[in-house]
Amino acid sequence: NTKQLFSISQDNCKDSYHIEDEKDLDFSWFKGKQFCGISAGASTPDWIIQNVVDAIEKNQ
């Protein structure tokens, strides 16, 4: 489940954020960062994941 994935992420990286879609992104999170990891629950539609990836790439 997505909440458990987020909990595991937080345990391993302090800069972890839970979002529902690209509208929840805060691009200040990415300042000074070289890498970004994205995880999603099995029920998350591919188009939502792609919208998030596209928004991050566009705002780099």
pLDDT tens digits in sequence order for the chain, 60 residues long: 888 999 999 999 999 999 999 999 999 999 999 999 999 999 999 999 999 999 999 998
Q: Are 47 and 11 within 8 A, CB to CB?
A: no
> Which structural domain range is residue 30 located in?
2-58
Its pTM stands at: 0.88
Domain count, the chain: 1
Residue 56 Cα distances to 13, 20, 27, 31, angstroms = 19, 14, 8, 12
pLDDT of residue 1: 80
Which CATH number does the domain housing residue 47 bear?
Answer: 3.40.1010.20
Q: What does the pLDDT read at residue 49?
A: 98
- Cα-only R_g, the chain: 11
